[in-house]
Structure 1
Amino acid sequence: MIQTRENKPRILLVDDDRDLLHLISVRLKANGYDVNAVGSAEEALTKLATYRPHAVVTDLKMSGMDGMALFEIIQQRYLNLPVIILTAHGTIPDAVAATQQGVYEYLTKPFEGNVLLNKLEKALKQYVKAGPYETTSSDQDWCSEIIHRSAVMQALLDQAKASAVTDVSIIIQSETGTGKELLARAIHKASGRCNQTFMAFNCAAIPESLLESELFGHSKGAFTGATREYAGLFQAANGGTVFLDEIGDMPLAAQAKLLRVLEQNEVRPVGSTKSVPVNVRIVSATHHNLSDDVEQGTFREDLLYRLNV
């Protein structure tokens, strides 16, 4: 078996069959592997950057994203990471086609445990020869504006990249002036929304009387001076990412409307009785301790739950 610095090669194991997942995991661990077992391709994507496996073993047919879609994303991000696909008898042609596209190997179920062990050992030799996590230049572009020589910062970037591909809401908590917007932009660039709009908004910089109008829009005649309809930030960023800086300073009334965006994917402009559908990803930032704000009654607990996925 190939030895690593930690003396345990890392294997990311992906299968929605819990029994088989457990069985393979036990076999691999008994043979000296470090195993991270997950039940879906979507969950596997969140583990790649932080767990940094030496090989991936995935089922082909799964609910949600299938093994082939997972492989295609891995190939884009980690050129030399070997992927072994497990398949039932009825899907052998699919697996053969997958190997032609770059999948390292496929195994048909049921298979002998020693067969998988042999395939993994050969795959790991390929991994060591090819080099650890060779990436394309475009794979590094997402965080090119963040210059650092810190292992702590690199770990943060790995975590940010893992979260970026999931499309969940993210809160960045840090002191003022530490580059929260830079990190938010990097998350946007690493996400599936990278070709869409990124819009930043400082919740502490706009008077409370104008905040809801700026975020959610207003209808003509909604208030004095509203001489025309205004779409607002969320409609303008539809399909992209909205960065809400200093969200801890957002008034409670606006927090309620923001919760509606997260729960129902729609906004209701000020003065309007009709809601408008929107599709945005929300990245927020604050220097506050929002848990303390919840206890003090200045921040909604349900909103914090939705933002801090």
Structure 2
Amino acid sequence: MPGTESAAARTNILVVDDDADMLRLLSMRLTAAGYRVTAVGSAEAALNQLDIEQPQLVLSDVQLPGRDGLALFDLVRARHPALPVILLTAHGTIPDAVEATARGVFTYLTKPFDGKALLDKIAQALALSAPTAAVVPKGGHDESWRDEIVSRSARMAEVLAEAKMVAQSDASVLMLGDSGTGKELLARAIHKASSRAKKPFVAVNCGAIPEALLESELFGHMRGAFTDAVTNHKGLFQTADGGTLLLDEIGDMPLALQVKLLRVLQERAVRPLGSSQSIPVDVRILSATHRDLEVAMAAKEFREDLYYRLNVVTLTLPPLGERREDIALLAQHFLQTLATKYSKRLSGFAPEALKALTTATWPGNVRQLHNVVEQVCALSTTPLVPLALVQRALRQPAIEVLPYAEAKRKFEREYLINLLKLTDGNAADAARLADRNRTEFYRLMQKHELTPGLFKGDSAASGEPVAEPRQG
């Protein structure tokens, strides 16, 4: 396939071996795999070649005349810290090669080695060391609009292509996806690719702000509008005027506020609390949620007219488990960023550690991956992050993976369940303990699909309340 050969030919591998037959065999194998190969017979020749052209990877034998492969690695690392090096070693030099991996060599292979294993290790090393620019499409187009989104997967490429297309219009976009998939990053990218890029981008999490404050945050208030309103306050719609407003976790917005939001979208004007005057606003609306809004509409928890106003275009972000080819790239990107924060010289992950990352389940998606990489970055004492640290980080429950709104909702439901268990399903007593009036308490129970009857008698004894009555 000519297209494949031409794309791969840009990847140059510097091969170093003083055995002419081995050098020829490696060159043939790598050339057949589509790589461009520069072959030299000594460390000195390799260093000279590095002065002429920097390759994407160095593949070197450990036993070389003059400077050996380990000395060559030290010099390569000093000149080009991010350049991956793979060592080929005979059984007698395995201890040296193992020590070299602790110093930052990507990996080593013992002779005789399997050809497929060699190609797999090379592919892993190139994936980890590939700069973000490697994901920019051909043609020289400016892709800086999406420079915060690190990806090479086909699934994300489709989403980004749609995002760039819709960015050219002012259509409202609803972004769907599990928590931690990067919906806010996508919203920022859409804003940067739009004609509004030089105007403000403002994001608000509708589930993280108490209902009593959210209206004031969105629409503003006048001095004296309520007890604590000591000055005029400009709302986020006005702050984002001319630009883009992201309504994150829109599915958690209270119904009463949904009505007011719909009016603002229809009239393109906001009326701050305590004001009799409406203020025109020019804002492009992006919204995001991990909730199924169609289910919420069926439960009368989300207005249909607002849904159709927000959902002109839908973009769905895949979970990390459906874009596994991005995991290594993201992990290395986070590692490089966080290494500066922790003042560490980190070059990457040991192959076994990388495999553990790419095969993990990632219920918290990209956010969880970032947390895991931050933990291993803080604890790592070697340039290559070892498997043990990754396993430790993956085993540790990641509470911080939950967004605030989701953690709040989970706590609230567990709190109600514990109160109803304590009072044997007596809602009046539970409301009294919670210091809430009975009407508000019933509203909370309805929100979490709990009824007092579930906690009376046998239901309470079982310790497992359910949202619906038992069948049969």
Regarding TM over 0.5, the answer is: yes
Asked if 1:239 corresponds to 2:242, the answer is: yes
Asked if 1:282 corresponds to 2:285, the answer is: yes
Q: Which residue of 2 aligns with 1:204?
A: 207
Q: Which residue of 1 aligns with 2:139?
A: 134
Matches within 5 A, 1:95-174: 134-136=139-141, 139-174=142-177
Which residue of 188, 192, 196 maps to 1:189? Answer: 192
Give the CA deviation at 1:271.
1.7
Q: Which residue of 1 aligns with 2:268?
A: 265
What TM-score comes out, normalization by structure 1 length? 0.56
- What amino acid is aligned across from residue 278 of structure 2 in structure 1? S
Give the CA deviation at 1:261.
2.1
Give the CA deviation at 1:133.
6.4
Deviant stretches of 4+, over 3 Å: none
Give the CA deviation at 1:258.
1.2
SS at match of 2:146: coil
Q: Which residue of 2 aligns with 1:303?
A: 306
Provide, for residues 75-113 of structure 1, a one-character-per-residue CA deviation record: whole Å limited to 9, x for no partner: xxxxxxxxxxxxxxxxxxxxxxxxxxxxxxxxxxxxxxx
Which residue of 218, 223, 226 maps to 1:223? Answer: 226
> 1-side partners of 2:193 and 2:252: how far apart?
28
> 2-side partners of 1:302 and 1:231: how far apart?
27
Matches within 5 A, 1:51-70: none
- What amino acid is aligned across from residue 134 of structure 1 in structure 2? G
- What amino acid is aligned across from residue 135 of structure 1 in structure 2? G
Query: Which structure 2 segments of 5+ residues have no match?
Result: 1-136, 313-472
Asked if 1:179 corresponds to 2:182, the answer is: yes
- What amino acid is aligned across from residue 164 of structure 2 in structure 1? K
Give the CA deviation at 1:270.
1.2
- What amino acid is aligned across from residue 179 of structure 1 in structure 2? G
> 2-side partners of 1:301 and 1:241: how far apart?
23
Give the CA deviation at 1:288.
0.6
Provide, for residues 144-180 of structure 1, a one-character-per-residue CA deviation record: whole Å limited to 9, x for no partner: 1111120010000001111111111101011111111
> 1-side partners of 2:197 and 2:167: how far apart?
10
Which residue of 232, 253, 256 maps to 1:253? Answer: 256
SS at match of 1:158: helix
SS at match of 2:195: coil
Query: Which structure 1 segments of 5+ residues have no match?
Result: 1-131
> 1-side partners of 2:241 and 2:152: how far apart?
36
What TM-score comes out, normalization by structure 2 length? 0.37
> 2-side partners of 1:233 and 1:265: how far apart?
14
Matches within 5 A, 1:84-99: none
- What amino acid is aligned across from residue 264 of structure 2 in structure 1? V
Q: Which residue of 2 aligns with 1:124?
A: none
SS at match of 2:286: strand
Q: Which residue of 2 aligns with 1:4?
A: none
Contact kept, 8 Å, 1:180 with 1:285, in 2: the verdict is yes
> 1-side partners of 2:291 and 2:250: how far apart?
9
Provide, for residues 14-50 of structure 1, a one-character-per-residue CA deviation record: whole Å limited to 9, x for no partner: xxxxxxxxxxxxxxxxxxxxxxxxxxxxxxxxxxxxx
Q: 1:271 to 1:182 in 2, by over 3 A?
A: same
> 2-side partners of 1:254 and 1:165: how far apart?
29
> 2-side partners of 1:257 and 1:133: how far apart?
45
- What amino acid is aligned across from residue 293 of structure 1 in structure 2? A
> 1-side partners of 2:197 and 2:176: how far apart?
22
* Percent identity (aligned): 59
- What amino acid is aligned across from residue 157 of structure 1 in structure 2? L
> 2-side partners of 1:264 and 1:283: how far apart?
17
- What amino acid is aligned across from residue 308 of structure 2 in structure 1? Y
SS at match of 1:142: helix
Matches within 5 A, 1:35-46: none
Equivalenced residue count is 177
Contact kept, 8 Å, 1:257 with 1:267, in 2: the verdict is no
